[in-house]
C-alpha cells in the first residue's frame, strides 16, 4: 500500500489522506473545488465542477495514472438542479465513461456545490 500526497490538489481538511494505491487500484478521497494554489473556491457549478475534476486528476497523476484508468466515480451535488451543467464538465474529463453514482446531499464541506471521488486501475 502507498499513500498518495500531492501539493497539486488541496490538502485534506480532516484526518484522512488524498488517496491510496492498494491492491492494484487507486482510491481518491472526495475532491472538492478548492484551488490548491490559493485555497479559494470558484463561483458557480460549472467552475466548481471544473476544479473538482482537476483536483481528482492531480491525485490520480500523483499515483501515476490518468482519467482513462478510472473505473468508478462517486459524485455529490448540493443541488440536483445542477446535474446537467455538472455532467457537461464531467464528460470532458471522464471520457472513458466510468461507472458512476451521482447523488444530491444536504451539504458539502466549505459550502461547495460538488465533490468527486474516484477509483482507478493502478497500471
Note if 53 is an active site residue.
Answer: no
Q: How many CA atoms lie within 13 A of 60 on its CB side?
A: 27
**Which one of the listed residues 53, 75, 102, 114 is annotated catalytic?**
102
Burial code (b: 16+ CB inside 10 Å, e: under 16) for 72-83 equals ebbbbbbeeebe
Q: Point out the residues that are catalytic.
A: 102
Amino acid at each position: 500500500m502507498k499513500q498518495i500526497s500531492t501539493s497539486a490538489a488541496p490538502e485534506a481538511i480532516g484526518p484522512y489522506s488524498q488517496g491510496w494505491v492498494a491492491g492494484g487500484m487507486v482510491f481518491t478521497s472526495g475532491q472538492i473545488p478548492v484551488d490548491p494554489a490559493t485555497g479559494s473556491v470558484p463561483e458557480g457549478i460549472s467552475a466548481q465542477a471544473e476544479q473538482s475534476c482537476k483536483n481528482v486528476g492531480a491525485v490520480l497523476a500523483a499515483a501515476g495514472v490518468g482519467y482513462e484508468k478510472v473505473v468508478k466515480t462517486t459524485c455529490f451535488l448540493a443541488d440536483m438542479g445542477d446535474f446537467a451543467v455538472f455532467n457537461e464538465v464531467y464528460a470532458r474529463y471522464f471520457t472513458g465513461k466510468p461507472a458512476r453514482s451521482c447523488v444530491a446531499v444536504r451539504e458539502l464541506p466549505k459550502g461547495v456545490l460538488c465533490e468527486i471521488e474516484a477509483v482507478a486501475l493502478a497500471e
